[in-house]
Each structure stands twice: as C-alpha cells, then as structure tokens.
Amino acid sequence: MKEVRPAAVAGAFYPGEAGVLKHDIQVMLAAIAVSTKVTAPPKALIVPHAGYIYSGPIAASAYARLIPLRQQIRRVVLLGPVHRVPVRGLALPGADSFETPLGIIPLDQHAMAQIAGLPQVEESIPAHAWEHSLEVQLPFLQTVLDDFSLVPLAVGDATPQEVAEVLERLWGGPETLIVISSDLSHFLPYDVAKRVDHETAQTILNLAAPVSHEQACGGTPVNGLMLAAQRHHLKPHLLDLRNSGDTAGDRSRVVGYGAFAFEEPGHVH
C-alpha cells in the first residue's frame, strides 16, 4: 500500500490551521478583479510558489479564473522544479494521495501509469517529501475546484522536449488543467528585477523559449509548456507581474512573481 504524502511546509509557507488557511485564500481570491481580457477557460496556468504573504496575491490572480470551472476540471497536472533533491527528468511521488490542512487529494493512478514508462519519468519519494513548489499550489486548488485528482511531477534536469512529451500524454480535454509552478528572478534589486521580469514575461507571452533558470526557477517546466502551447496554439495572457518588494519584502533583494493563463484557440471574446 502506497502512502499519503503529508504536508511538509504547512505552517511555514502558508497557514497550518485549516480555518485560517481557508480564510486567507478566500481573502486573496476576493481581491482579484477578473478582467474581461481573458474570457476563455484556461488550459494551463503559470503561478508562483513562494510563501503566501509574498506571492499568494499573484497566484490568486490565476486561481480566481478557475472558480467558474469548479465542476469541469477533474484532473490537475502539476509541475514544479525541485529545490532540495536532484532529479534526472521528471519524478512521480510514489504515493496514492497528497494531504494539506484542507484535506486529502487523490492522485490519478491511471494518468501516472500512462507516463511511467517514459525514459524521462522516474519515481522519487525523496524529491517530493519536502518540495514546496508543488505543495503550495494545493490549498488554492482545493479552494477553487470541487473533486479533482492530481498528477504531481517534480521536475529536475530535463529538456523542454521531454517535459512537452509528458504534457502531451496527459493533455486530455476540458477536464484537465495544467499548472506550472515557477517564481521569476531571484534576489535582484527592485528596479533591476522589474526590468528582468518584464523581459521574461514578454518571452513567455511570445512563446519564445527558452527561459533560463536565472529568469525563472521553474524554467524547465515553463519551457516545456511553451513548446506544448505552440503545438496546441494556446494563447498566453499576463495576469499579474510583481515581486516581493511589492508585497511583503524589502526592495534591496527581491524575488519576482508572474501569473499567466494559457487559453485554447477557438474561443470568441
């Protein structure tokens, strides 16, 4: 029997008490005025993964768009970079479910079996055990969606093509959402970070890969998504672009955060 992957960063990156966590997320979502610019349901999102006081409001700008899709999205394919344990390729967690203070999320065993045979996919319990890039997305997803299953992938040393191949196998239809977890620049002065992050955002909006790891810690999954987005003619939109100097940090060394939604063609605005 495989195990539950318990929350590792509750109480650190986000509140560990369910009531406080739910309240904080609701407040962040309520603060988002969803613009009319992006009216189609997103097929994919890029969201940041820092502590909620730093990047939560930016992530909320993307997750607010899922509320109308609460019953439609039944599977979330979630990719984020490894921060603690090196991985060659993309790592599945060797678990049946993930737990947060808001409850248990089942993993999609059938979907994981579809990619388990690919040479770039391995199983690594250690890679997932303390990885925050995936975990911090889960309470948001639990708040904006009803019942859904999860395909969590911790991404290490992989090519954009290897990532795109995994996304292709799991692409599905309107029931499947792809979420890429990535912050942008790290520890630059405020004004420099704003310039660098603006350039990175333009690269993503133009699907002009590659984005380097200096530009985005999740550059590998971001580049894989851009490749898949080209193939599927997805249209990216920038939802929010700020940094920790705008939210809860000092401005001498900031971390950049961007939120993007990718919509499928054929939707009339």
% of the chain at pLDDT higher than 70: 96
| Model confidence pLDDT, tens digit, residues 126-141 | 999 999 999 999 999 9
Alpha-carbon distance of 144 to 247, in angstroms, equals 23
CB atoms within 10 A of CB 267: 11
Q: Is the pLDDT of residue 157 over 50?
A: yes
Choose the weakest-confidence range: 8-17, 36-45, 228-237. 36-45
Q: Can you give the pLDDT at residue 33?
A: 78
| Model confidence pLDDT, tens digit, residues 210-250 | 999 999 999 999 999 999 999 999 999 999 999 999 999 89
CA angle at residue 235 from 234 to 240, to 5 degrees? 130
- Residues 76 and 107: beta-carbon distance below 8 Å: no
Q: Can you give the pLDDT at residue 267?
A: 56
CB atoms within 10 A of CB 231: 12
Q: Can you give the pLDDT at residue 269?
A: 43
Number of residues assigned to the chain? 269
Instruction: Give the chain's domains with CATH numbers.
Output: 1-30+40-102+156-182+250-265 (3.40.830.10)
What is the average per-residue pLDDT within 145-161? 98
Q: Can you give the pLDDT at residue 266?
A: 73
- Residues 151 and 110: beta-carbon distance below 8 Å: no
